[in-house]
Amino acid sequence: MDRRAAVEALEAIEASVARLAVVIREAAESSGSRDSDPLRRRANNALMTLAEVACAEAKMAGLKVQAVDDYDDAAQALAGPATSPEDNTGQEMAVVAEVACVLTVSERSAGALLAEAHQLTTRLPLTLSALQAGQISWQHARVMVDETTNLDRLAAAALEAHFLDPDAVNPARGCPAGGLVPGRFRHKARTWRERHHPVSIEKRHIRSAADRRVEYAPDRDGMAWLSAYLPADQAAGIWDRTTAAGRALQGPHEDRTIGQIRADIAATWLLGGTGDEGGEMSSRRADGVPSPQAQVLVTVPVMSLLGFTQEPAMLDGYGPIPPSMARKLIADGAESFHRVLTDPRDGAPLEIGRTSYRLTKAQRQWLRLRDGKCPFPGCSNQSLDNEADDILAWAHGGSTGISILGQPCPKHHRLRHTTAWTPTTATKNEPPGWISPTGRHYASEHPDWEPPDWPSNIPMTNTGIDTGAVLDADLDLELDLDLDLDLDLDLDTSLPPAQR
């Protein structure tokens, strides 16, 4: 960054600070005004202040990134070419030490900042521009750096464009990246990365599975942390089983929280307890690892299920998993597995409607597929105890089809019925957004459905036939223990079902 660019960046930040000062001054004046609703105006000005502060912080982070990278380049030029590996290491250590001292941070933090700044300035131009414009936070920028690590330039550019370029071929749906809390943005970025990674997810999973382990870390007050790095289906099954068992134990005479009950159940099972709290662990895989027994939804593209393609399946509450893992869940007869065939044209399942008030099990599963989690912005609750909620109450003329249903977690279900927070209209494929008591609209996160891969040797003509419905009817596979995953599939989608 040259001096002119630095001055322009500082002027932009000064302008943001000036706007912030105006907002704060108006807020102070409104507290003593005779406005018909001074408290509402005061609250609104406070929210405007927070929004301006967040924007200014992002712009400052963008300026810091550029300055750090500029110093790195200048320091290397001043030092001259390294004459040996030891000399090169010494130069890098000197740069890290200087940045750590000027920012008053650890050298580890300074080293990480230098590495992130280098990635942003050399490989992620859209991310850096969005940060400098205040459209995303520093946390969002770091997520983008993390999720593009080990990707080649083309793959990294594609991931970046999907979330930050509205003119991309397949832009992300729903609220923009900066409108998602960083944790939810990481989940969506990682999901997209897994789907489009140039290396097969099967190969990457085999390498990563070799690193599975359990870790133990003592903590304060006679406590300790016990964590496990496991294949996703096993981890999701353990989490859902402990949740289901914990919910079964809750009642008027149970004073433990669900988190405490989960911990007690896991400790009982691992230390050789009977396991009565969560049912018998009778179903086991060939390798001796229990199959998940709680309700786990896995969305599998039908051609991937049959072995014709290798695109990932989607494990509810986690994200993409290798197709071999999904096939194994089916072949081993996991009782909790619910097959979902996706429409081969756009990747979305079909809506499940009903005319009665009572919600069916299939509809509850559909809500989990449509929303992926509690639809409140920023909430990551994936548990099975999310509650179906009529956006337009049945008593006020609402039907109970999927399009007017939400599935908020218990916390945000209470928020919806005890405060002025209200959900907006949903569709069969899009969860509801939310309107706050101050009238602000907050978009909900949308799942990024994508058309599944279709084998080139199997015709799929555009005849106006509802291919998704045809697949759901004609490929209604009996998924039991002796499932033949090498079926010789010969489909002619140009014919109606009765003629096949």
> Tell me: the pLDDT tens digits for 35-77?
567 888 888 888 888 988 899 899 999 999 999 999 999 998 9
Q: Taking 80 as the threshold, does the pLDDT of residue 95 lie above it?
A: yes
Predicted local distance difference test score (pLDDT) of residue 68: 94
DSSP 8-state code for residue 60: H
5-27 b/e (C-beta count within 10 Å ≥ 16 → b): eeeebeebbeebeeebeebbebb
| 261 vs 314, more confident | 261
Percent of the chain with pLDDT over 90: 23
| 2 vs 303, more confident | 303
Q: Taking 70 as the threshold, does the pLDDT of residue 34 lie above it?
A: no
Predicted local distance difference test score (pLDDT) of residue 124: 96
Non-local CB neighbours of 497 within 8 Å, separated by 6+ positions: 470, 473, 474
Let me know: does 341 contact 463? Beta carbons within 8 Å. Answer: no
Looking at every residue in the chain, the average pLDDT score rounds to 75
Bridge partners, 473 (sequence order) = none
pLDDT tens across 307-318, in order?
788 888 877 767
Is pTM beyond 0.75? Reply is: no
Q: What's the rounded mean pLDDT across residues 286-301? A: 53
| 148 vs 30, more confident | 148
pLDDT tens across 319-351, in order?
788 888 877 776 665 555 555 556 666 666 544
